[in-house]
Every structure is written in structure tokens, then in C-alpha cells.
Copies of this chain bind each other. A is one copy, B any other.
Amino acid sequence: MVNIDYALNVICKETKIIGTENKDLLSSVNRVLAEDIYSKDNLPPFNKSSKDGYAIKSEDTLNCSKENVCKLKVKGIIKAGDFINDTLKNGEAYKIMTGAPIPKGADAVVKIEDIEIKDDNLFIFEPINENNNIIKFGEEIKIGDLAIKKDTVIRPVEIGVLASLGYSSVKVYKAPTVALIITGDELVDINSDIKNGQIRNSNEYSLKALVTNLNAEVLSLGIVSDDRENLKEKMKYALEKADIVITSGGASVGDYDFVKDILKEIGADIKFSKIAIKPGKPVTFATFNEKLFFALPGNPSSLITTFEKFVKPTIEKIMGKDDFHSEQFKVIAMYDFECEIGREKYVYVEIKKKDGNYYAYKVGSQCSNHLMTMSRANGIIVIPKEIGHVKAGEAFNGEFIFGINFKKYIKE
């Protein structure tokens, strides 16, 4: 039995980028850039007005005041998208719209709220500084400048930057294909009634949701019966077609737990087969050629816990997010409970915040096939290996589960 940190280190060491792929711009959201992005243009590509107003020569306004109102002649209008091949002379102005190019000779824009206009005459009541309301050529970025660094997560704002630079596709780290093999002769399709001894195949659905939520590809081989030859064929097929193979169930100590034997038989390199975590002890991790194999427990909440802890960072690392640690914070237990000594316990709780502190409340039995408990939880507290009794008021490390945005579901 290995410790959680040891397991994570071994997995992390074996996990490598599997390549890059070109994605059209909008499909690249939430993926990670596998190339540096350089600007092919100067942005803005011309001096441009940041306001609706009038393009002028600032020197014409040096002595303007309410007493000594300046008068300029409006020669025409420049809309966004226009380009005027004219040079402004002293005493002249162009009406100009936000985003439109500043005409030659002009060096400032006075905004529409600050002037008066009568026929073609523009009246200005104060001196206007040079460069006022002008966004300068190349101010945002210049040709050849690094715009976005390799290894950046592509958020909507990066989509905007890439579009403005004319990138309609980008190179991102390839998403792994994750094969799923669900073992267990007791499993029936979710549309079936359950007869004596049967339960529905929920693990396949949980795993599909977990994998697709990470933007990886799923190749599900569905329920595979506890028949050794059949299972072996499916495992070989999965290792051929996918980058990561996950089995659920069939890797414990029972007579029909063939997964480990088959891994040995086909020559996979088994790195460990038990982790000191609860729920979730019977986790086998193996490599076969460049492929990664996770045999996870069949108990639904052990499965989800070990996926989140061990498989998720693996998928994220392959996709360019090097994230083999989770953000933990202090949480105070609000109830007493007993737990097993010898494994690190991930206890599912409801975390509430009060006066800046976090508190953990009981949501149900921690029996490892109780998905209902997990469903009522928004976080976990981690009880160290050597602790067997927890008393209300004691503080432990905690984290929110399922990563995405869960702080906002905490009740204050």
C-alpha cells in the first residue's frame, strides 16, 4: 500500500504530453496553447479616436477659454472604417467617430460633450492636450511582439486577442482519449428494472461526465462481463485505441478480480495496486508502452474520489495544465465521528463559511457506495492516516470538490 503523495508522484512522472492539435478558434476555448502567439500586425493599425468628437490640431486650442472661444471649420466627417487621404491644416477640424482613424495633421480629439457646433463651425472652450483621446498606432501591440505565451489557458479574452490578431485556428495540446471498461456481472443498463442481485450501471455515466467535463474524449466499451478472456480482449483493444484506460471494479482480491492478472500477463508495468486512501484503496496504476492504465474501485463514491484525485490531474497534465496539487484550506469539523486508522480519509461534508472561517457539517454515511452522501456535499475534509477519532471543533485541511466554481454555492 502506497501513500497518496507517493502515488501522485509516480503518476505525475509517467504522465507526458501526447502531442498537439490544431483547433479552430472557437473550439480552442478552455484548452491550453501549445505555441507562442506573435502579432502579425500593429494594433491599433492606425492612430484612432477613442471618442466621438472632432479631430483637431492641439496648437489651435492653446489660448481657448470661455472668454476667448476658439472657432474651427469642420471639413467633413470620418466614420469608423473610413480612411481620409487629406491633411488637416490650422483652423480646420474633422468630425470623427469612435474607432475611426485620425487624419494626417490632427494630433488630438475633443469630445462631442465638450464643444458647441453651429453649421460648419466648431466652438472650443478650453485648451486641448496633444494626443487627447487618441489611441496611438501600435500602442496595444507591434508586429513581432509576443502576444500570448505558450502554455496559457485559452479563456474568452484570449479568443478575443487571437481573433484581433487574425488567428482563425491555433495549436493546442492534444486531448487524450480515455477508454472506459465497466466490470461487474451485477450491472444492468440504467433503463432496466433491477431484479434480485442487480444494480444499475451508474459508474459508466459518472465517468463519462467526469471525462467530458475535462474536455477529453471518451471511448466507452460499456459493461464487460467478469469473464477473463473477454475482459483481456477488451483491455488490449482499449490500450491500443486510447491514451488512458480506466476500469471500474474487478481489481480487488476476489476470485473474479482479473484486472491485475491480465495486466501482468500482457506485460504491463504495474506501479502500485493499493493506495492509503479512504474511500478508494484498491487502485492499480500501470503503464503499457506509452499508455496509462488506472484500475479503479467499483464502489461508486470510491470511483469518483479516486478519479478526481488521481485521473483528473493526469488528464489535465496531458492537456497542458500542470496541476498535480489541489487548493486546501482549514476547515473545522462540526461533529464527532470515528474513522479507520491507516489510510487518509476523504470525508464528504457540507462546508459553510461564517465570519471568514470554514466549517464542515455532516451530510450522511461515508460508506463508500453512498453516492447520495457525495451528492449532498460541496467539499471534503482530509483526516490524516493516524487519526481514528474526530471531535467537533478540530481543524483539518479541506477542499471543494469538482473544482468548478463551487465557492459560490457555499452558504454564509
Binding site for B on A (CB under 8 A): 25-26, 29-30, 41, 43-46, 50, 52, 77, 79-83, 95, 97-101, 112-113, 135, 139-141, 147-148, 152-153, 155-168, 184-187, 190-206, 208-210, 212-213, 226, 249, 252-257, 298-301, 304, 323, 326-327, 365, 367-372, 374-375, 401-405, 407-409
Known A-B contacts A79-B256, A99-B298; A157 and B402 likewise in contact (beta carbons under 8 Å): yes
Chain A, interface SS category: loop
> Measured between C-beta atoms, what is the minimum distance from A153 to chain B in Å?
7
Contact present for B323 and A164 (CB under 8 Å): no
B186 contacts A167, C-beta separation under 8 Å:
no
List of 5 A-B pairs having minimum Cβ-Cβ separation, nearest first: A81-B185, A81-B186, A160-B206, A163-B202, A83-B196
Q: Please indicate the chain B residues that have their CB under 8 angstroms from the CB of A257 in the complex.
A: 52
User: Are B113 and A323 in touch, CB under 8 angstroms?
Assistant: no
> Is B80's CB under 8 angstroms from A157's CB?
no
Cβ-defined contact, B46 with A157, below 8 A? no
Q: How many copies of this chain sit in the oligomeric assembly? A: 2
CB neighbours of A202 from chain B (8 A) = 159-161, 163-164
CA of A157 to CA of B364, assembled, Å? 15
Q: Choose from B165, B196, B209, B226 the contact partner of A156 (Cβ within 8 Å).
A: B209
- Do the beta carbons of A45 and B365 come within 8 Å of each other? no
Residues of B within 8 A of A41 (CB): 194
- Measured in the bound complex, the distance between the Cα atoms of B254 and A99 in whole Å is 11
- Could you say which of B101, B255, B298, B401 contacts A77, with CB atoms under 8 Å apart? B255
Subset of 18 A-B contacts with CB under 8 Å:
A25-B190, A26-B208, A26-B212, A29-B212, A50-B367, A52-B255, A80-B197, A81-B185, A97-B255, A98-B299, A139-B365, A155-B402, A157-B301, A163-B202, A163-B204, A164-B199, A164-B200, A404-B405
